[in-house]
């Protein structure tokens, strides 16, 4: 594998690119301030856009590392940012990544996240050369499991009471795709 950092990826409807500091207001407005979006996430909704801005300043600093993968999702049709997809854990020895994602409620149910996840999986296998891409969700948040299914990941199993998010302790449902499966997919 060879880390290549957060390069711009494009799909039919989406542009996946690095965050810029002036994305803070739209990120706050479109998803980061919404408790429904963060219900099954580990961070509380942002109380104000200054918090979003300082988080983005930190993330933007990290783009200098080729091992840092964190995209903002822009919907080309409206030229607006609507969500975020990133590598939340990278193990270079096993050549494996874990992905996390979230998106504003206004855009749920249009198969946008499966499209974004598909592009990230393609990049991580074809360009970075990983062997495994995984993701997990709270068992009470099955719609995230549907995203993983649609992007070609297979169900691995459940780690009972192994996670914690804004709902409290939860069962974590794991999905993954291996390079050899991706090549056949």
Ligand X SMILES: CC(C)(COP(=O)(O)OP(=O)(O)OC[C@H]1O[C@@H](n2cnc3c(N)ncnc32)[C@H](O)[C@@H]1OP(=O)(O)O)[C@@H](O)C(=O)NCCC(=O)NCCS
Minimum CB distance to ligand X, residue 143 (Å): 3
- Nearer of residues 65 and 110 to ligand X, judged by Cβ: 110
Among 14, 37, 75, 153, binds ligand X (CB under 6 A): 37
Which has the closest alpha carbon to 106: 173, 15, 30? 30
Task: Compute how many other C-beta atoms are within 10 angstroms of the C-beta atom of residue 88.
Answer: 15
**Residue 21 in contact with residue 53, Cβ under 8 Å?**
yes
Residues in the interface with ligand X (CB under 6 A) total: 20
CA angle 87, 138, 123 (to 5 degrees): 25
Binding pattern to ligand X, positions 121-140, x when CB under 6 A? ----------------x---
**Piece of the chain touching ligand X by CB under 6 A; list 42-50, 66-74, 123-131, 143-151:** 143-151
Say whether residue 99 binds ligand X (CB under 6 A).
no
- Minimum CB separation of residue 103 from ligand X in Å reads 4
H or E segment to which residue 114 belongs: helix 112-123
Asked if residue 141 binds ligand X (CB under 6 A), the reply is yes
Phi, psi of 80 (to 5 degrees): -130, 150
Nearest approach, Cβ of 37 to ligand X (angstroms)?
5
Which of 6, 30, 33, 144 lies at the binding interface for ligand X (CB under 6 A)? 144
What does DSSP assign to residue 110?
Answer: S
Which residues, 6+ apart, have CB-to-CB distance to 120 below 8 Å?
9, 16, 69, 71, 85, 99, 133
Give yes or no for residue 113 binding ligand X (CB under 6 A). yes
- Site residues (vs ligand X, CB under 6 A): 37, 40-41, 101-103, 108-114, 137, 141, 143-144, 146-147, 150
């Amino acid at each position: 594998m060879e880390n290549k950092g957060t390069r711009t990826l494009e799909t039919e409807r989406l542009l996946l690119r690095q965050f810029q500091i002036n994305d803070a207001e739209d990120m706050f407005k479109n998803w980061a301030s919404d408790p429904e979006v963060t219900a099954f996430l580990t961070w509380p909704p942002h109380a104000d856009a200054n918090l979003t801005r300082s988080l983005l300043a930190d993330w933007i600093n990290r783009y200098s590392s080729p091992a840092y993968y964190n995209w903002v999702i822009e919907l080309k049709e409206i030229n607006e940012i609507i969500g975020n997809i990133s590598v939340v854990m990278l193990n270079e020895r096993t050549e494996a990544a874990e992905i996390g994602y979230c998106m504003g409620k206004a855009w749920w149910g249009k198969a946008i996240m499966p499209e974004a996840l598909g592009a990230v999986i393609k990049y991580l296998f074809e360009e970075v050369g990983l062997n495994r891409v995984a993701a997990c969700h709270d068992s009470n948040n099955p719609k995230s499991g549907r995203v993983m299914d649609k992007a070609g990941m297979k169900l691995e199993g459940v780690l009972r009471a192994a996670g914690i998010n804004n709902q409290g302790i939860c069962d974590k449902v794991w999905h993954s795709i291996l390079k050899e499966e991706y090549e056949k997919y």
